[in-house]
Amino acid sequence: MERRVVVTGIGVISPLGKKDQLWENLLKGVSGVGRVTRFDASDYPVQIAAEVKDFDPAEYLEPKEIRRMDLFCQYAVAAAVQSLSDARLKITGANAPRIGVLIGSGIGGVSTIEKQAQVLREKGVGKVSPFLVPMLIPDMASGQTAIITGAKGPNSCTVTACASGTHSIGDAYRIIARGNADAMLAGGAEAGVTPLSMAGFIAARALSARNDEPERASRPFDQQRDGFVMGEGACVLVLEELGNAQARSADIYCEIIGYGVSGDAYHITSPAPEHEGAQRAIKEALADARITVNDVGYINAHGTGTRYNDYYETLAIKKVFGERAYQIPVSSTKSLTGHLLGASGALEAGICALALKHQTIPGTYNYEYPDPDCDLDYVPNQARKVDLEVAINNSFGFGGHNAVLAMRRWGSSNE
């Protein structure tokens, strides 16, 4: 019999702040989007992003460690340290082999690649940093987190573009469920607001160009949506076997009850028609959770604000849920946080956990012009108090990677 898995800690580095500030800003409708400050973007057709503000890596790392980590890795470690503190979980010599790390990233240390490529061009091969490779590879978020925290259990990294964080949490959930670990630090990290990365997404025509209205640029499901807004940050959850969590009287946010995955096998960037792969992932998550479409009370959508993603995700939800689709609140918190790429699914899983705990659904902001092709209840422009038992989190990545988590409220009915 599979073991039950609960969320006992949440750590966040985001454009809207740490966990408590993030939640407060989501409920107030505060946007994390603004003009790019990471570099001079004045010659770029897109000059906006959702950047992390006021991040001080010295709160979590020694100076030498900071110099040897790319920013995405610093975010990951910071979120992991926060999550352990939030869970009140101490890693000791006795439990370390049973606590693992699985933190995904879509593009890893892209800023290190850019900086060291410039060093190579300008100063030659002898000046390239000996830490280049360990700073750029995506798995180093998990590696460095384990080194800093002492977690010696299963250690891995999922790289599935914008589904990386959700895949990481889902895979960690299964590691615990089958008995290979008692707890996992799981999530995603990204720091892609860089000249090359933004230029690439601009060339792919994926980004919103509402430079004069940064806070209104991310418009999931709105008829006037024109692309997503690049975001950055990290979210790491402490997943824990239920008995282990109860034995130490941990506070529980929610229970993870299902996980669905699929591949489109269709196109490198576009979703399959009617998001057929997403449909299968949602159905698998429901089946894994042993629930029906009538049990789902909230969907945190992938909802990027791109023309085809939002349309096809809406179709997928309709195909899976039928008429019930029109009764389920569906919101995209990317309207305020921007799109954190490989960290987005992890942040949104954390938001689902908070929604279940607080019985409140964050809204989809900047929803002003209804799209006839996107006609579900997108919780427009304000949060909503609800009686919420089950939420699902959708994430879809370039390359046709689909991942869906199902999560249940923790309360008297399932304790």
**162 counts as catalytic:** yes
In the block, tokens 């997928």 appear at: 316
- pLDDT score at 272: 87
For the full predicted model, state whether its pTM sits above 0.85.
yes
* Local structure of 260: helix, strand or coil: strand
- Report CA-CA distances (Å) from 382 to 13, 352, 363, 365, 371: 23, 16, 5, 7, 18
Q: Which residues partner with 254 through β-bridges?
A: 7, 409
The CB density around residue 195, as the number of other CB atoms within 10 Å, is: 16
Please give the backbone phi and psi of residue 89, each rounded to the nearest 5 degrees, phi first.
-105, 120
Q: Is the pLDDT of residue 79 over 60?
A: yes
Which residue in the list 235, 302, 352, 401 is annotated as catalytic? 302
In the block, tokens 């800690």 appear at: 9
**Over residues 162-188, mean pLDDT:** 98
Mean pLDDT across the chain: 97
- pLDDT score at 271: 87
**Over residues 225-254, mean pLDDT:** 98
Which residue in the list 162, 235, 254, 352 is annotated as catalytic? 162
> 91-100, pLDDT tens digit by residue?
999 999 999 9
Tokens of 293: 């479409």
Q: Which residue from 311, 347, 4 is spatially nearest to 162, judged by alpha carbons? A: 347
**275 counts as catalytic:** no
> 102-123, pLDDT tens digit by residue?
999 999 999 999 999 999 999 9
- pLDDT score at 189: 98
CB 47 within 8 A of CB 214: no
> 5-49, pLDDT tens digit by residue?
999 999 999 999 999 999 999 999 999 999 999 999 999 999 999
> 266-305, pLDDT tens digit by residue?
999 888 888 999 999 999 999 999 999 999 999 999 999 9
Strands 99-104 and 155-156: parallel
CB 155 within 8 A of CB 181: no
**339 counts as catalytic:** yes
* Percent of the residues in the chain that have a pLDDT greater than 70, as a whole number: 99
Domains of the chain: 5-247 (3.40.47.10), 259-409 (3.40.47.10)
CB 223 within 8 A of CB 175: no
In the block, tokens 């008829």 appear at: 223
Estimate to the nearest angstrom the gap between the alpha carbon of 140 and the chain centroid.
18
**Over residues 199-221, mean pLDDT:** 97
CA distance 192 to 37: 13
State the angle between helix axes of 344-358 and 19-28 in degrees (0 to 180), rounded to the nearest 10. Answer: 80
